[in-house]
Amino acid sequence: MELPGVIASTRAAVRRAGLDDQYEFVEGNAFDVDWGEPASYDLALVANLCHLFDGEANLRLVRRVAEALRPGGRVAIVDILPTERGDGPRPAVLYALGLVLRTGSGRIYPYSTFRHWLGEGGFEDTRRHNLPGPYPFTLITGRRR
Ligand SMILES: C[S@@+](CC[C@H](N)C(=O)[O-])C[C@H]1O[C@@H](n2cnc3c(N)ncnc32)[C@H](O)[C@@H]1O
Render pLDDT for 3-28 as a digit per residue (tens, 0 to 9).
999 999 999 999 999 999 999 999 99
Q: How far is the CA of 83 from the centre of ligand 1 (A)?
A: 23
Closest atom, ligand 1, to C-alpha of 53:
16
The whole-number pLDDT of residue 11 equals: 97
Look at residue 60 and tell me whether its pLDDT is greater than 90: yes
Residue 135 predicted with pLDDT over 90: no
> Using an 8 Å Cβ cutoff, are 122 and 145 in contact?
yes
Q: Which has the closest alpha carbon to 61: 41, 73, 46?
A: 46
Sheet holding 69-80, edge to edge: 41-47, 69-80, 137-144, 123-130
Q: How far is the CA of 84 from the centre of ligand 1 (A)?
A: 25
Say how far apart CA 23 and CA 6 lie, in whole Å: 16
How sure is the predictor about 48, in pLDDT bands with cuts at 50, 70 and 90?
A: very high
**Centre of ligand 1 from the C-alpha of residue 82, in Å:** 20
Domain boundaries, the chain: 1-34, 38-144
38-144: in CATH 3.40.50.150: yes
